[in-house]
């Protein structure tokens, strides 16, 4: 067995089979009923509700915030996040969310959920109003990358 087959096996287990049919049908309906931008906004609102239901404790550092976020993701088996501080932005790399398996391929709006959750948590942590969370395109289905930077 090669490494790609092993990784596919782990991916396959990232979303319970009992939910796949429902979630893929829902994704297909979103795709048919709404433009991608609207679906992304809807998913961001759902992410915000999720984050609101899973409030984080106060955090004095980016490392503490990352640890709190990862405690939530670990509890619901949604992968993990790495926060990377850069001179002009904060980058969030979220690995191994179950979306690729749960919703199937081709849903460009699936990152909206994570974007909404991160936006809500960062605002609650004191993110300045001139900053926002945005998804960055990536070809890796196992990673969602976000930037927290000034909104122009």
Per-residue pLDDT, 62: 96
Q: What pLDDT is recorded for position 13? A: 65
Tell me how far the alpha carbon of residue 94 is from its chain's centroid: 6
Distance CA 30, CA 149 (A): 29
For the chain, how many structural domains are there in total? 1
- pLDDT range class, residue 151, cuts 50, 70, 90: confident
Q: What is the pLDDT of residues 83-139, one digit of tens each?
A: 999 988 999 999 888 887 777 766 667 789 999 999 999 999 999 999 999 999 888
Please give, one letter per residue, the 3-state secondary structure of 84-111: EECCCCEEEEEECCCHHHHHCCCCCCCC
Instruction: Quote the percentage of the chain above a pLDDT of 90.
Output: 53
Q: Which domain holds residue 115?
A: 3-150
Report which of 28, 50, 19, 53 is spatially closest to residue 112, judged by C-alpha positions.
50
Angle (CA) 6 8 12, round 5°: 120
Do you know the residue count of the chain? 152
Complete edge-to-edge strand list for the sheet that includes strand 90-95 = 80-85, 90-95, 143-150, 131-136
Q: What percent of the chain has pLDDT over 70?
A: 87
Confidence label for 1 from pLDDT (cuts 50, 70 and 90):
low
Averaged pLDDT, 55-70: 97
**Angstrom distance (rounded) from CA 94 to CA 89:** 16
Question: What is the CATH classification number for the domain harbouring 129?
Answer: 3.30.1380.20
Position 103 scores a pLDDT of 77
């Amino acid at each position: 067995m090669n490494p790609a087959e092993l990784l596919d096996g782990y991916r396959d287990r990232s979303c319970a089979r009992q939910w796949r049919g429902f979630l893929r049908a829902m994704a297909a309906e979103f795709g048919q009923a709404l433009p991608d931008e609207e679906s992304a906004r809807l998913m961001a609102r759902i992410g915000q509700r999720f984050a609101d239901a899973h409030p984080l404790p106060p955090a004095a550092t980016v490392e503490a915030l990352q640890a709190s976020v990862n405690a939530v993701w670990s509890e619901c088996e949604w992968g993990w996040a790495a926060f990377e501080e850069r001179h002009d932005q904060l980058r969030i790399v979220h690995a191994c969310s179950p979306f690729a398996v749960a919703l199937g391929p081709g849903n460009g709006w699936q990152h909206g959920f994570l974007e909404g959750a991160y936006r809500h948590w960062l605002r609650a942590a004191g993110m300045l109003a001139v900053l926002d969370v945005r998804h960055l395109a990536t070809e890796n289905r196992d990673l969602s990358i976000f930037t927290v930077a000034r909104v122009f």
